[in-house]
Amino acid sequence: MSVDTAKLFAQLDQQAIELPSWAFGNSGTRFRVFPSAGVPRDPFEKIEDAAQVHKYSGIAPSVALHIPWDKVDSYSELRAHAEGLGVKLGTINSNTFQDEDYKFGSITHSNPVIRQKAIDHHFDCIDIMHETGSRDLKIWLADGTNYPGQDDIRGRQDRLADSLEKIYARIGENQRLVLEYKFFEPAFYHTDVPDWGTAYAQVAALGERASVCLDTGHHAPGTNIEFIVAQLLRLGKLGSFDFNSRFYADDDLIVGAADPFQLFRIMYEVIRGGGYGNDSDVAFMLDQCHNIEDKIPGQIRSVLNVQAMTARALAVDTKALNEAQLAGDVLAANDIFMDAFYTDVRPTLAAWRESKGLNPDPIKAFNNSGYLKQIAETRVGGQQAGWGA
């Protein structure tokens, strides 16, 4: 199928994918973390690595922070460091799942002292947002139970609503609270925010500056994620994406690795629902770790995968598709959809990069830059960052 290159270039210019600072540290499985040479030792070095991804891809202009993993003495200094490297600080992610007090929950805990501790942590995150210029406070909770009868399920929902209300009341006029959901793990009987419906019900009660974060790896096998995308956009409550990929239980693989067709379908619904482009408030972010591959090339590959499926989704002939749908022509509609998916957009994307003064092959260009060798030689001493640090 033919592609209007000028139109596609203009649409691709509007894409921005935020990087997770924690993706540049050492990570692994429950059984082993495999260290890599040159891994960042502090948030400043994480930002330096993230800036490399943007330098070669052109579509990763911001970096999300995780608190307290990325705690520093001066966030204004970290902000200046990022801006000096051509990127900015983005979403602030809270962490209420690694402290001993949160064994039985954080903002849903039955103990009001522990619950207030978790709320206060989010207040601290909001203070950091004021310093970094961040818009979004993202909340993912490990809260839940492992056994029937362990706790009052409804009571936990009430406490969740009360805690979120207190946190929401603290965010600034130009800030948002974004609530993420995950259907299981680490709690195995029930999680307090297991699905989009629960997340939607909670944020809808808060107000217009509260929305839902959809993590593409946080669903049961076979879930129609693109339907959830369409529904949340229809309701005006899709705040952000966490992109990654999964085969079974976790969500730390490179986005598009397990099912690129799913990523294409998701991006089509994002575009169709008005969630893409300069006029959209939907934020796009990676949330994945790199266990066996080099971190920076892994992140470059990830943003390129999202860009490629976005380009294919933008190539759908929506006029012809709508006509086939209205005519009830099932096979014609499917053919139109699949034609876009099978379109080879690689030459077009290479040309887009060249038009921006970028190397048409970002991975090759980065590998030839010698940056990995440089950081392996210079980042000696100190403690390497990893999951949880």
pLDDT in tens, 86-140: 999 999 999 999 999 999 999 999 999 999 999 999 999 999 999 999 999 999 9
Asked if residues 308 and 265 have their Cβ atoms less than 8 Å apart, the reply is: no
Query: Is the pLDDT at 181 greater than 80, yes or no?
Result: yes
pLDDT, tens digit (0-9, with 9 covering 90-100), for 200-247 = 999 999 999 999 999 999 999 999 999 999 999 999 999 999 999 988
| Range 132-151 burial, b when 16+ CB lie within 10 A, else e | bebbbbbbbbbbbbeeeeeb
Given CA atoms 235, 239, 243, 247 in this order, what sign does their dihedral have? Answer: negative
pLDDT of 328-367, one tens digit each?
A: 999 999 999 999 999 999 999 999 999 999 999 999 999 9
Q: Which 3 state secondary structure label does DSSP give 92?
A: strand
pTM metric for this prediction: 0.96
- All structural domains of the chain with their residue ranges: 5-378
Q: Helices marked H in the chain — which ranges? A: 5-12, 43-57, 75-84, 112-132, 153-170, 196-206, 225-234, 260-272, 295-314, 318-326, 330-341, 346-355, 362-369, 371-378
- Please check the confidence at residue 389 and state whether its pLDDT lies above 60: no
Beta bridge partners of 20: 64
User: How far apart (Å, rounded) are the C-alpha atoms in residues 237 and 227?
Assistant: 14
CA 88 to chain centre: 16
pLDDT confidence of 66, banded at 50, 70, 90? very high
Given pLDDT bands bounded at 50, 70 and 90, which one contains residue 270?
very high
Judged against a pLDDT cut of 60, whether residue 142 lies above it is answered with yes
Residue in this structure with the two tokens 């602030």, named with its chain if needed:
92
What does the alpha-carbon distance between residue 1 and residue 349 come to, in Å, rounded to a whole number?
16
Around Cβ 116, how many Cβ atoms within 10 Å? 15
Give domain 5-378's CATH superfamily.
Divalent-metal-dependent TIM barrel enzymes (3.20.20.150)
The per-residue pLDDT for 300 is 98
The answer to whether 126 and 166 have CB atoms below 8 angstroms apart is no
Collapsed DSSP state (helix, strand, coil) of residue 180: strand
CB-side exposure of 50: number of CA atoms within 13 Å? 33
Sort strands 144-145 and 88-93 into parallel, antiparallel or unpaired: unpaired
Which residues are registered as beta bridge partners of 176?
136
Cis previous bond, 360, omega within 30: no
Q: How far is CA 168 from CA 133, 143, 165, in A?
A: 17, 19, 5
Residues 6 or more apart whose CB falls under 8 angstroms from that of 323 comprise none
CA angle 246, 252, 258 (to 5 degrees): 30
Output the pLDDT for position 254.
Answer: 95
Q: Can you give the pLDDT at residue 388?
A: 65
Contacts of 111 (CB under 8 A, 6+ apart): none
Query: Following DSSP, what letter does each residue of 329-342 receive, concatenated?
Result: -HHHHHHHHHHHHT
State the residue for tokens 């040479």.
37
pLDDT, tens digit, 9 for 90 and up, residues 153-165: 999 999 999 999 9
